[in-house]
Amino acid sequence: MKANIVLLGPPGSGKGTQGEMLSEELGYAKLSTGDMLREAVRNKTPLGLEAKAYMDGGGLVPNDLIIGLMKEKIASLAPGTGAIFDGFPRTVEQADSLGEQIDVDLALNLDVADGEIVKRLTFRRSCSKCNAVYHLEYNPPKRDGLCDKCGSALYQRDDDMEETVRNRLKVYREKTLPLIEYYESKGRLVTIEGVGDIAGIFAKVKKAVE
């Protein structure tokens, strides 16, 4: 059966990395609000122009903008297709909105401590074309500065500077952490230790999904 899966966890916990692998493995659609917002910023759309300042400061983009953006995307999912939500919901209001549209079968919480997060994000490199992510030390691309998957140049996100990362962690604790209890109380939560080698974590992720 096709499932709807929400990826929870602080910034840098591996949602993008694991979500990408899971989406390839299961053939599910992956919806990443961060990727959608960065594309909107690059294209200078009205949404992008409004979202940019929030993102640069490491704060959350207002709920009404995110909910508006996701409503359409969720509505356009083919019925019965499994979906992986990466970076959404990030607030209880967003989770309530998602729950009105679809049933969340599984909320996978990747547990990673703050010190590790800072090391991960300050050395993260991202592909602006296909959204693949790398780490200069832990998961380097095969060719320096180039994406393994599509060959495009990698870049460092503006919000992956240490000071902004610290703010994102604070915002995560205030706004997003309550979602752990939210999905726990619905009996949908599985927490996975998100530290260690990427393939080992993926094995645990797959097990939770099966």
Looking at the annotation, which residues are catalytic? 15, 90, 124, 157, 168
- 54-62, 74-82, 140-148, 199-207 -> range binding Zn ion (CB under 5 A): 140-148
**Long-range contacts, stretch 170-177, CB < 8 angstroms, 24+ apart:** 171/58, 171/59, 171/60, 172/10, 172/11, 175/60, 175/90, 175/91, 176/8, 176/10, 176/90, 176/91
| Total of chain residues touching Zn ion, rule CB under 5 A | 8
| Phi-psi category of residue 26: left, alpha or beta, with phi > 0 → left and psi -120 to 50 → alpha | alpha
The CB-of-21 to Zn ion minimum distance in angstroms stands at: 15
Give the one entry of Zn ion, ligand ADP, none that residue 30 binds, where binding means its C-beta sits below a cut-off of 5 to 8 angstroms depending on kind. Answer: none
Secondary structure E strands in the chain: 4-8, 29-32, 83-86, 106-111, 124-127, 133-135, 154-155, 189-193
The partner in contact with residue 132, picked from ligand ADP, Zn ion, none with C-beta cut-offs of 5 to 8 angstroms by kind, is Zn ion
**Residue with smallest beta-carbon separation from ligand ADP:** 34
Q: Is 74 in the site for Zn ion (CB under 5 A)?
A: no
Three-state secondary structure call for residue 202: helix
Point out which residues bind ligand ADP (CB under 6 A).
9, 11-17, 33-34, 37, 54-55, 58-61, 66, 87-88, 90, 94, 120, 124, 133-135, 138-139, 159, 168, 196, 198, 201
Q: Which does 149 bind (CB under 5 to 8 A by kind): ligand ADP, Zn ion, none?
A: Zn ion
- Please confirm whether the linkage preceding 89 is cis (ω < 30° from 0): yes
| 141 interacts with, out of Zn ion, ligand ADP, none, CB within 5 to 8 A per kind | none
